[in-house]
Amino acid sequence: MNFSKLKQKILNAFNNQFSTVISSVLIAIVLWFLISITQYETMTKNIDNIPVSTELSKDFSESSGLSLISCDTENVNVKIEGNRTEIGGLKSDDLVAKLVTDNISSSGTKTVAIKIESKSGREFEIKSISPSTASIVLDKIETREFPVSPEIPNISFADGKTFSRDDLSCDPAVINITGPSEQLNKIAKCTAVSHKKATLDTSYNLQSDEIRLYDENNSIIENSGLSIEKNNIMINIPVLTQKKVGLSVSILNAPADFDKDFLDFSISADNIVLASENSSAEFPDPFEVAQIPLSDIDIDYSNTFTVDTKKYINQSNLETVTVKLNNENLAKKQVVLTDISISNPQPNYDYEIIAKSINVTVIGPADIIKDITASDFVANVNLLNESSNSDSFIHDVSVSCPKYNNVWVYGTSKVTVNRTEKTVTSAKSTTAPNASTTTTTADVSE
């Protein structure tokens, strides 16, 4: 037999057999498919990574006023059962996992069931969902207005310059923040922060680069999930001129020859820092914190005064000072004065002091006080500005010690003064007989 013809016959037989095998396989597949769809119409299928929808139904949002703030589940896996022709080709993108929010009417953290739906409306039975529930947070979204205060941690000031924190301001002074009500409730303070570094010697406007939120414990609140109306706010920094000055007191109503410098006071604070918006301001040094009438100063004098800086800004937060008299080597005693004079009386009246003596407390150096007598003092009732309509009135007595310029009287003395109108008489002049007569009446004071 020809070898080449034999080879060709073998090849032809093999090809025919291979074609038969392929055809048999295809026929088997078709038969299997036909049997499956006729004998086994229902099938189960696992589909993984189906995305959980965070969109709530319109009816639920409108009726409850709630919005979904967070959900702890992003994807679920599902096992479904259904007609092979319905579910055979389903993929995760063909399905959606929805949150069941029926019967929820209040905000807060809720555990809700998850349901699976076909985007194209195919029907099937859910055999299992994993996870089958989700933890969600629901809340109302609100917009609230918050005042803004400046925060300038890296700003310093030149020598002799400072600022008043109360005068720092923001423009705008308030901002609107939108977010969940529970998160808004935590905001106790809102600041506009500038991280710029600068040393200022004059007033300055600075743009903020951060909005910072604080809770009631002054801890920073994470502001993710909040919508802040305006992030860039202008910070106004009024720069002040300042100076540290000493403190002093002044003495009122002292006799002209009294040595006010003799009195030695201790003040509870040594100095105070004053500031002014005027860049060329001149500050009094020392600064007077109290005015004390001489007659109020007893040997153990101590009094507390409210510090009034008037046109200056108090940078020391010094609200009060206590002033005490240093009474070392001082003494006091009682002296009875019987020689009381009257000055500046009205010319048409006579005056009489009813009390013939007054008892006064005198204070001064101990070596002087031990030997001092009533003759060293002058007591006077000055009627210059007396305006009483009564014929008997009470009037102050001023007491001084001309002999010593470091002795004073503690307290005030008063006496009763009687007033009487002076008598008026008439005088007549007569001419000789047969001459014209003229009578002249004149007031003569006794």
List, in order, residues 6 or more apart from 259 with CB less than 8 Å away: 405, 406
25-42: average pLDDT: 65
Q: Which pLDDT belongs to residue 35?
A: 57
Confidence category of residue 59, pLDDT binned at 50, 70, 90: confident
Judge whether 319 and 306 are in contact, CB under 8 Å. yes
Q: Round to whole Å and give the CA distance between 239 and 275.
A: 10
Judged against a pLDDT cut of 80, whether residue 48 lies above it is answered with yes
Buried b (16+ CB within 10 A) or exposed e, 92-110: beebbbbbebeebeebeeb
Q: Which pLDDT belongs to residue 434?
A: 42
Nearest to 257 by CA among 415, 374, 378: 378
Considering the segment(s) 42-139 as one domain, its CATH architecture is Beta Complex (2.170)
Confidence category of residue 87, pLDDT binned at 50, 70, 90: confident
Q: Which pLDDT belongs to residue 6?
A: 58
Considering the segment(s) 241-325 as one domain, its CATH architecture is Beta Complex (2.170)
What tens digit of pLDDT does each residue of 349-399 get? 999 999 889 999 999 999 999 999 999 999 999 999 888 888 999 999 999
- Which token pair is 427? 């005088």
Judged against a pLDDT cut of 80, whether residue 30 lies above it is answered with no
Q: Round to whole Å and give the CA distance between 166 and 227.
A: 28
Considering the segment(s) 142-237 as one domain, its CATH architecture is Beta Complex (2.170)
Q: Which pLDDT belongs to residue 123?
A: 87
Would you tell me how many other CB atoms lie within 10 Å of the CB of residue 45? Answer: 16
Which residues belong to CATH 2.170.120.30 in the chain?
Answer: 42-139, 330-424
User: Looking at the domain that runs over 330-424, which CATH code has it been given?
Assistant: 2.170.120.30
Which residues belong to CATH 2.170.120.40 in the chain?
Answer: 241-325
What tens digit of pLDDT does each residue of 207-225 get? 999 999 999 999 999 887 8
- Give pTM, 2 decimals: 0.55
Q: Round to whole Å and give the CA distance between 255 and 244.
A: 33
Q: Round to whole Å and give the CA distance between 408 and 338.
A: 18
Would you tell me how many other CB atoms lie within 10 Å of the CB of residue 160? Answer: 13
